[in-house]
Amino acid sequence: LSFWAGRQLKLVTGANKGIGFAIVRELCKAKFTGDVILTARNEKLGNEAVKMLKSEGFEVAYHRLDLCDQGSAKQLSNFLQKTYGGLDVLINNPLLFWRNMLCNYCIFVASSNVITDNLSILAN
Q: Look at 2 and 57; give whichever has higher pLDDT.
A: 57
**pLDDT (0 to 100) of residue 61:** 96
Q: Say whether pLDDT at 59 is over 90.
A: yes
Instruction: Say which CATH topology domain 8-122 has.
Output: Rossmann fold (3.40.50)
**Rounded average pLDDT over 117-121:** 58
User: What confidence tens digit (pLDDT) does each residue in 22-31 have?
Assistant: 999 999 998 7
104's CB contacts (< 8 A; 6+ apart) are 96, 97, 98
Environment class of 37 (CB within 10 Å of its CB; exposed 0-12, middle 13-18, buried 19+): buried
Cβ 5 vs Cβ 30: under 8 Å: no
CA distance 49 to 47: 5
Which pTM was predicted? 0.77
Q: How far is CA 62 from the centre of its chain?
A: 9
